[in-house]
Amino acid sequence: MSIFKKNIPSPVPPPFSAGDIRVESSTCTGEKTIGFYDKSTKKLMYAELVRSEKDIVDFYKKYGLSYTGGQK
C-alpha cells in the first residue's frame, strides 16, 4: 500500500462530453467559471471557479481529458 494518493480521474458526468465544457465570465465582476454546459437548461453544471489557466487545465485533468488550449 502506498502512502501517496493516486490521481484517478472522475468519469465525465452523463449526459455530458468533453465538447460540453465551457468557461463563462460574469458581466459584472469578470469572475470566470468552468463547467459542463447543459443546452436544455442553458446552465453551467458542475461549475468551478477559475482563477488562472492552471485551474482550467486541472478541471480537464480531473475528468481525464486533455486540454489543448484556446477552446471555448
Nearest CA among 59, 7, 10 for reference residue 33 = 59
- Cross-strand partners of 48: 34
Q: What is the pLDDT along the chain (72 residues), one digit of tens a residue?
A: 567 777 788 999 999 999 999 999 999 999 999 999 999 999 999 999 999 999 999 999 999 999 988 644
Q: What is the pLDDT of residue 69?
A: 80
Q: Please tell me the distance from the alpha carbon of residue 69 to that of residue 24, in angstroms, as a whole number.
A: 15
The alpha carbon of 56 is separated from its chain's Cα centroid by a whole number of angstroms, namely 6
Q: Are 51 and 36 in contact (CB under 8 A)?
A: no
Q: Please tell me the distance from the alpha carbon of residue 66 to that of residue 51, in angstroms, as a whole number.
A: 19
